[in-house]
Structure 1
Amino acid sequence: MAALAFLLECAAVAATTGVLTSLLVGVATLLPWPASQVRPALRADAAFVVGTLPAVVALAVVSAAAAPSLSAMLGWSHDHCGSHGHHLHLCILHSSGLRPVLAVVGAVALATFVFRAGGLLWRVRHTRARLAALEALGSARPGVFPVVAVPGAPRLCHAAGVLHRRIFLSASLEGALAPQELRGALAHEEAHLRRRDPLAALLLAVSGLFVPPPLARVFFSVYQTAAEEACDAEAVRVVGDGTVVAGALVKMAALQRRARDVAGVPAFGKLALEQRVRRLLDEEAPPALPSRALLFAMGAAAGVLTLALLHAAFLHHAVETALHILS
């Protein structure tokens, strides 16, 4: 019973912390920031850190709150529960009993997390199977990132792969583009792979398990739009003409109306088309910058977790007090 109460209480803490943090960063995300003055690559980095922050904070708070109990169970520290018997214990050794409110919140949070995680796992497995089938049909052309030429329909121009990075390009699309347009489209997809956008998309999807679905979609969309604009800038650098890239975007969008996204990265020309074309035609494309989103996110996660563990005793007591009041 103590272990079950501990699990449900930790689930309730994680869910509550994730929702509150996502609401705070969601408000900040929706504020009218002067985004046009910030380079797309930097906006994408910021959006990735913001999108993963609720999950990082939730895990850090739960880890810090559970640390004293787990440490005592493993014999690494003394049992602290006898020193505060006046409120609920977040402890796997000394449960205060399964409180109905916490039990319901924890059970719903845990069931929702497992359901959404199962859906994400199914989508990842389905995507991998689909990519493997397409790769078996096509032929790979060597390069910094291999281009898998897929015959006939489906109409693809996608960057894919977390570890095995490559570009899928259908013959029907390749024949529909002028040489410079095709060069720009491939440069755009290569930029996705250099930025490791498929990996970032997967990490954002995992982090979204700690966030209400509507906000998770907002965080994901903000990141994807900024990443697409950053890759457009790289395509302009390679081709040397923003109008060529804009023309390729419009042409590809018309050809890919029913194409589905692959591996978390939208097909070239599918996302925020009007906004991107206007930027390419009306403004000088900003210089391309390398993505540091994963580095920034890892630094933020390490900092938050270290800070939480350094103040584990305080957070543990604060969480117990809050749970006692709410239950």
Structure 2
Amino acid sequence: MAALAFLLECAATAALIGLAVSLLVWPALLALRGRVLRRVPSLRADLAFVLGTLPALASMGVVAAAGAPSFAAALGLVADHCLGHGHHVHLCFVHSTHVRPLLAAVGAFSLAVFLFRAGGLVLRLMRMQARLAALESLGTSRPGLFSIVAVPGAPQLCHAVGFVRRRILLSATLEESLTPTELRSALAHEEAHLRRRDPLLGLLLGVAGLFAAPFLARACAAVYQTAAEEACDAEAAATVGDGGLVAGALVKVAALQRKLSHVAGAAPAFGALALERRVRLLLDEEARAITAQALRVAGAVALAAGLLVLAHIAFLHHAVETALHLLF
């Protein structure tokens, strides 16, 4: 019973912290969706990633700090403090507690929503991996900076994939439809995705979104995806040496994808996503190619958060218990 009460209390705490942080970072995300950092899309993508992961970092950090004393007491590292503060709610998986009905309901609902969203994410990943495996089983691999898997068939496909083993899927029909310069532009764009590790960052953003409010998770994913596409356009333009060539290839591929959308399904990255805005940036040469720093910045934030939690475990533990007591 104590373990169940502890689980529900932790779930409620994580959900409340995630919602609070989501509301705090929402104004900053709205600014990113406007004209802020228009000419530096890579930085905009990095900031969207960091904002999207903040609710997860805060939720996990606060819950870890709140539950740490009971784990330390169970291991004999510190004295058991539970009996000394029976005047309010306390988080402990050892001692039997009478969890408050409203707190238990919030925790149960939050846990159910988390598991439902996590199940959906896992199901989407499994389906994606199955489709990729089926496509790659039909193709042949070409060596290069990043291997290119040439896939036969009708879909107009040019897509960067791989969380660890990074590669590009390229359909034969698309390769035949593009001129050498256009193909070089498309491949340069996808190579930029792989250098930036966008497939991995997209996965991490999706997992972190499980701890955030759904509206923030969706908005962060949308801002990150659009900004990442613009950043890869800028890198492709720098590689090819002419933004107009990349814009022309972008428009042509988007037209081919729309023509065969009944075959290809959802458009891959080098396609029609935010097409007008991306073409305008390329033609005006507004977007600048800069190095992606999302993983480094997020890692620095996570390290700082971890050090803050370690330095203030006792305070955070007591603050969470007091807040739960006042709220419920």
Q: TM-score, normalised by structure 1?
A: 0.95
Superposed displacement of residue 69, structure 1: 1.0
Contact 1:89 1:95 in 2 (8 A): no
- Match of 1:168, SS state, is strand
Alignment of 1:1-327 (within 5 A): 1-31=1-31, 34-36=35-37, 38-257=39-258, 258=261, 259-260=264-265, 266-286=268-288, 288-327=289-328
Contact 1:147 1:167 in 2 (8 A): yes
1:138-185 superposed Cα distances (whole Å, 9 cap, x missing partner) = 111110101111112222110000011100011111111111111010
- Shift of the 285–326 alpha-carbon distance from structure 1 to 2, 3 Å rule, reads closer
- Match of 1:19, SS state, is helix
- Shift of the 295–72 alpha-carbon distance from structure 1 to 2, 3 Å rule, reads same
Contact 1:66 1:316 in 2 (8 A): yes
Aligned residue pairs: how many?
A: 323
- How many Å separate the matches in 1 of 2:265 and 2:164? 21
- How many Å separate the matches in 1 of 2:12 and 2:64? 13
- Shift of the 315–95 alpha-carbon distance from structure 1 to 2, 3 Å rule, reads farther
- Match of 1:256, SS state, is helix
- Match of 1:152, SS state, is coil
Unaligned segments of structure 1, at least 5 residues: none
Q: TM-score, normalised by structure 2?
A: 0.95
Superposed displacement of residue 73, structure 1: 1.2
- How many Å separate the matches in 2 of 1:36 and 1:102? 42
Superposed displacement of residue 35, structure 1: 2.1
- How many Å separate the matches in 2 of 1:2 and 1:36? 50
- How many Å separate the matches in 2 of 1:16 and 1:285? 38
- How many Å separate the matches in 1 of 2:130 and 2:148? 18
- The amino acid across from 2:308 in the alignment is L
- The amino acid across from 1:252 in the alignment is V
- Shift of the 219–9 alpha-carbon distance from structure 1 to 2, 3 Å rule, reads same
Superposed displacement of residue 83, structure 1: 2.3
* Cα RMSD for the two superposed structures: 1.5
Superposed displacement of residue 285, structure 1: 4.1
- How many Å separate the matches in 2 of 1:51 and 1:26? 10
76-85 or 315-324: which moved more? 76-85
Q: Which 4+ stretches in 1 moved above 4 angstroms?
A: none
- Shift of the 83–260 alpha-carbon distance from structure 1 to 2, 3 Å rule, reads farther
Unaligned segments of structure 2, at least 5 residues: none
- Shift of the 163–37 alpha-carbon distance from structure 1 to 2, 3 Å rule, reads closer
- How many Å separate the matches in 1 of 2:51 and 2:96? 35
- Match of 2:202, SS state, is helix
Contact 2:39 2:287 in 1 (8 A): no
1:14-48 superposed Cα distances (whole Å, 9 cap, x missing partner) = 01101110111112211376524551111111111
Contact 2:231 2:287 in 1 (8 A): no
Contact 1:156 1:267 in 2 (8 A): no
- How many Å separate the matches in 2 of 1:108 and 1:2? 18
- Match of 2:153, SS state, is coil
Contact 2:186 2:270 in 1 (8 A): yes
- How many Å separate the matches in 2 of 1:320 and 1:237? 54
- Match of 1:131, SS state, is helix
Superposed displacement of residue 95, structure 1: 4.1
